[in-house]
Amino acid sequence: MEKAELERQVAAAVDVARREVPLVGSVTNAVSVNFVANAQLAAGGSAAMVYLPDEAEFLAQAGGALYLNLGTLLPVHEETMPRGARAMRELGKPWVLDPVGIGIGSLRTGILKELKVCKPAIVRANASEVIALAGLWELDGGDVRARVRGVDSTDEVDAAEGAAVALARWTEGAVAVSGAVDLVTDGTVVATSRGGSPLMEKVTGFGCSLGGVAAVYAAVASPLAAALAATAAYNLAGARAFARAQAPGSFQAAFLDELYEASAADVAGNPFDIREV
């Protein structure tokens, strides 16, 4: 793929999402559910959050994409997550997985194992989580003992490239690895995206809401374009927000403002590099 063609697809994802307002269902964690919804709205989507299995299936039918984030699991998620993912798989629609907290608790491990065959269109995670997920799914570059620390990564993005590529090849989708420099791959090309602000680690939910926005774009674009569009939009809005606000409370409000105001051309023009793998 040419860089210019990917830029064009990123711009189209941002633009079409704003025009079509795709409905995106989410089963996501309690910590950042509000931020996820607001980021999805700022990016042009329509957001609906549920906990119950048949409600996830309803949104699978009604929506253009589904977002599954494993943050704060409740017992009901044992059924809801797999049923939501299976519904999307059967419908041939894209769903986005954020395996946050991978390695904490037996239910999370069980659900994540079950989700493998449902092949998410996009996996969004930090480096340690990507390595751990590839390990759990027994793919190249994976290591179930990846040093995830709570919800934080202890690995650099570079170290996760092999795992990310293997995951993308398995899912035939895309993987977005968040870090100082972000990496997005579909298993054939690797794009690295720059920007953002270190303050994004000082406010909870930037990773989660990036996954939610990726789902909005996935409803109207290819997994690679959607994952890169969301990553680029976050890098752009994060850098712009930091120029306005250098502390976390006002930074988060400024970020939502900038995400809302970023044009398709701005997002597509946010610096990234691309290479084949």
Interface contacts to a second copy, rule CB under 8 A: 23, 25, 29-35, 37-38, 41-42, 46-52, 54-55, 58-59, 62-63, 71-76, 101, 104-108, 149-152, 201-205, 245, 247-250, 252-258, 260-261
DSSP string, 86-143: HHHHHHT--EEEE-TTTTSSHHHHHHHHHHGGG--SEEEEEHHHHHHHHHHTT-TT--
The CA-CA-CA angle for residues 59, 61, 63, to 5°, reads 55
Q: Is 19 annotated as a binding residue?
A: no
Nearer of residues 187 and 212 to a second copy, judged by Cβ: 212
Q: Is 46 annotated as a binding residue?
A: no
Nearer of residues 250 and 263 to a second copy, judged by Cβ: 250
Nearer of residues 1 and 256 to a second copy, judged by Cβ: 256
- Smallest gap from Cβ 170 to a second copy, in A, equals 27
Nearer of residues 64 and 142 to a second copy, judged by Cβ: 64
Nearer of residues 153 and 185 to a second copy, judged by Cβ: 153
Residue 215 CA to its chain's centroid (Å)? 7
Token pair 């494993």 in the structure block, residue: 70
Closest CA to 124 of 47, 46, 218: 218
- Smallest gap from Cβ 76 to a second copy, in A, equals 6
| Run of H or E residues at 204 | none
- Smallest gap from Cβ 1 to a second copy, in A, equals 33
Q: Is 249 annotated as a binding residue?
A: no
Nearer of residues 242 and 272 to a second copy, judged by Cβ: 242
SS3 label, residue 232 = helix
- Smallest gap from Cβ 204 to a second copy, in A, equals 4
The CA-CA-CA angle for residues 164, 183, 122, to 5°, reads 55
Closest CA to 270 of 240, 232, 234: 232
Q: Is 187 annotated as a binding residue?
A: no
Closest CA to 87 of 69, 112, 62, 51: 62
- Smallest gap from Cβ 50 to a second copy, in A, equals 6
- Smallest gap from Cβ 180 to a second copy, in A, equals 16
**Calpha distance 154→22 (Å, rounded):** 35
For the annotated binding site, the residues are 49, 124, 178, 205
For the annotated binding site for ATP, the residues are 124, 178
For the annotated binding site for substrate, the residues are 49, 205
